[in-house]
Amino acid sequence: MAEKKKKWVQKAVPESRKGVFKEKAERAGKTTREFASEHAGDKGTLGKEARLAQTLMGMSKKRKSPLYDHPRSKKD
């Protein structure tokens, strides 16, 4: 069961569709994030792609741990 949960991202975007959303954003003259936020409410394939792009972009954010948020704990 745990193995299935790990592979959902790879199965969400088929090989033939990789990079298509980014190309659409570039043709519109916008960044992928801007294009996704504009079209997240759309219906159909474009809306699905936009919502998935937002989800995947949100996963890659580096989150600061509040445990080590003290100036003396930072390495210089």
Instruction: Tell me whether residue 64 is in a domain.
Output: no
Instruction: Tell me whether residue 35 is in a domain.
Output: yes
pLDDT at 22: 92
Cα–Cα dist 53/21, whole Å = 8
> For the CA atoms of 43, 46, 47, 53, what is the dihedral angle to 10 degrees?
170
pLDDT at 39: 94
Instruction: Tell me whether residue 29 is in a domain.
Output: yes
**What pTM value is reported for the model?**
0.65
Instruction: Tell me whether residue 5 is in a domain.
Output: no
pLDDT at 8: 76
Q: Is residue 12 helix, strand or coil?
A: helix
Domain encompassing residue 52 = 18-59
For tokens 């919502």, name the residue: 51
pLDDT at 9: 76
pLDDT at 61: 59
Walking along the chain (76 residues) 10 residues at a time, the average pLDDT comes out as 66 83 94 93 92 85 62 62
Could you tell me the sign of the dihedral formed by the alpha carbons of 41, 43, 47, 48, in that order? positive
Total domains in the chain come to 1
